[in-house]
Amino acid sequence: MLWLDRGALTVEDGCLRFVTAGGSLQTGDYQIPHQAISAILLGPGSTVSHDALRLLARHGTLLCAVGQDGVRLYTAPPLGPDRSDIARRQASIWADKEARLQIARRMYAWRLGRILPHRELSVLRGIEGARVKESYRLVAER
């Protein structure tokens, strides 16, 4: 899931781009890896092109318009309720202990920004807990 605000979500050369003059992100032009994102939360002050909507729909990436600080949520989920391939794949990975642990490690590596292949999952949970606690502390200071 990715939060974007105060910018323009467009497509250039088949790539999803977000150009912002400030807001949650520093001023700049960002390429968005839409294939690896399940949802984009598009905050106030943003525009989205027709091409960007087409690209997101083709890849099954949900686009949600949200209010200031994520207070309101407006969305039209992608169609395809009759598809069960994702749920079946998730169930098969969950049923295979090795695959489940491999996915858990990859998710921790993604969230923590580093790979810790030899750490126990309980250690990874502790690191994640400390990271979340620090995030809550920073939000409370605002």
18-65 pLDDT tens trace: 999 887 888 999 999 888 888 899 999 999 999 999 999 888 888 999
Asked whether the predicted pLDDT for residue 97 surpasses 80, the reply is yes
Residues 6+ apart with CB under 8 A from 125: none
Asked whether the predicted pLDDT for residue 123 surpasses 90, the reply is no
Contact yes or no for 60/78 (Cβ under 8 A): yes
Asked whether the predicted pLDDT for residue 77 surpasses 90, the reply is no
How far apart CA 138 and CA 140 sit, in angstroms, is 5
Same structural domain, 104 and 135 = yes
Same structural domain, 49 and 102 = no
Asked whether the predicted pLDDT for residue 7 surpasses 90, the reply is yes
What are the distances in angstroms from CA 11 to CA 7, 17, 49, 101?
13, 6, 8, 36
Query: Which H/E stretch holds residue 57?
Result: helix 50-58
Contact yes or no for 40/25 (Cβ under 8 A): no
Q: Which of 75, 98, 116 is the last residue of a domain?
A: 75
Residue 115 belongs to domain spanning: 85-141
CATH code of the domain containing 47? 3.100.10.20
Asked whether the predicted pLDDT for residue 142 surpasses 90, the reply is no
Name the E strands within 36-117.
Answer: 39-42, 47-48, 62-66, 73-75
Asked whether the predicted pLDDT for residue 70 surpasses 80, the reply is no
Residues 6+ apart with CB under 8 A from 12: none
Residue 109: inside a domain: yes
Give the CB-side neighbour count of residue 4, counting CA atoms within 13 A.
30
User: Is the pTM here over 0.75, yes or no?
Assistant: no
Same structural domain, 51 and 90 = no
Residue 80: inside a domain: no
CA angle 99, 33, 57 (to 5 degrees): 95
Domain count of the fold of the chain: 2
Same structural domain, 13 and 51 = yes
What are the distances in angstroms from CA 9 to CA 15, 24, 44, 52, 79?
11, 14, 12, 7, 21
Average pLDDT over residues 109-128: 83
